[in-house]
Amino acid sequence: MSEPEISGFFEPVTGTVSYLVVDRASRAAMIVDPVLDYDWRAGRTSTRSLEAIAKAAEGLRVEFIAETHPHADHLSGARWLKERLGGKIVIGAGIAAVQRAWAPILDLEPGFACDGSQFDMLLQDGARLSLGELDVAAMDTPGHTPACVTLVVAARSGGRKHAFVGDALFMPDYGTARTDFPGGSARTLYRSIRRILSLPEDTKLYTAHDYQPGGRAVAFVTTVGEQRRTNVHVKDGISEDSFVEMREARDAKLDAPNLLLPSINVNVRGGNLPPAAANGTRYFKIPIDRI
């Protein structure tokens, strides 16, 4: 039985966790949710976080660079990693709906295709990827965004499942993702979470963020059983209507993420920066009084 080897990389500025998933037998690998560092004050990118992942991936055959969703809080490093390590950039097929929602807000360039073609592969619900002796199954889990997907990794010979849940769920003491971005829905998120929590109780869940409530140590791995017993927003016994009321009230008080607009500029493009202007410089479009 080939259990996956999983390493997490915590980026403290945005609280993001990226992952390297390896099949030991074949040395095939998948990278999940990589971060391109961005200093918004200076308008400068850095590959510090990506270089740590690339170093860990030395000697491996990177097959996939997977996005659990188009992130609103950090720039994707998928394109840089593909150029450095190879692999196909994959995301949920709902990315087209996200592109359609944001294209007029950001006034994306003429001819920008809102069909997900900027990515190498779009995952439909139930799609399966082969990673050496591991199987990666895509489970649609929208609500935070229409493109959210949970990636369930398991050995074909059986054994414990490992699910990368993106922003649908955080650690039990922090709860769940916001649902107030274009295309988001608290009711849809609740149903997606119940789908995740229908996996076997010993399934390990890997979150895309940790915000260290109360100043506790960083943590980003939990289980279905732990979530069902103790998640402060959605543990067993909390009804759909109660969750929707809580989530919508909470979302109404949240500020936009610091990197929301730069992130979406990049992440709807599959990790590509916007095209260069006539002077050779790339620019983010930041709408005024629009969101």
What tens digit of pLDDT does each residue of 249-274 get?
999 999 999 999 999 999 999 999 99
Q: What's the rounded mean pLDDT across residues 14-20?
A: 98
Give the domains, in start order, of the chain with CATH numbers.
Answer: 5-258 (3.60.15.10)
pLDDT digits (tens, 9 = 90+) for 205-237: 999 999 999 999 999 999 999 999 999 999 999
pLDDT digits (tens, 9 = 90+) for 181-203: 999 999 999 999 999 999 999 99
Q: What is this structure's pTM?
A: 0.96
Answer positive or negative: Cα dihedral of 51, 53, 57, 63.
Answer: negative
Q: What DSSP string describes the chain?
A: --PPEEEEEEETTTTEEEEEEE-TTT-EEEEES-EEEEETTTTEEE-HHHHHHHHHTTTSEEEEEE-SS--SSSEE-HHHHHHHH--EEEEETTHHHHHHHHHHHHTPPTT--TTSTTSSEEEPTT-EEEETTEEEEEEE--SSSTT-EEEEEEETT----EEEEETSB--TTT-B----STT--HHHHHHHHHHHTTS-TT-EEEESB---GGGPPP--EEEHHHHHHH-TTT-TT--HHHHHHHHHHHHTTPPPPTTHHHHHHHHTTTTPPPPB-TTS-B-----SS--
Per-residue pLDDT at 3 = 87
Cβ proximity of 70 and 267 under 8 Å: yes
pLDDT digits (tens, 9 = 90+) for 22-67: 999 999 999 999 999 999 999 999 999 999 999 999 999 999 999 9
Per-residue pLDDT at 1 = 56
- Residue 150: is its pLDDT beyond 70? yes
Per-residue pLDDT at 290 = 82
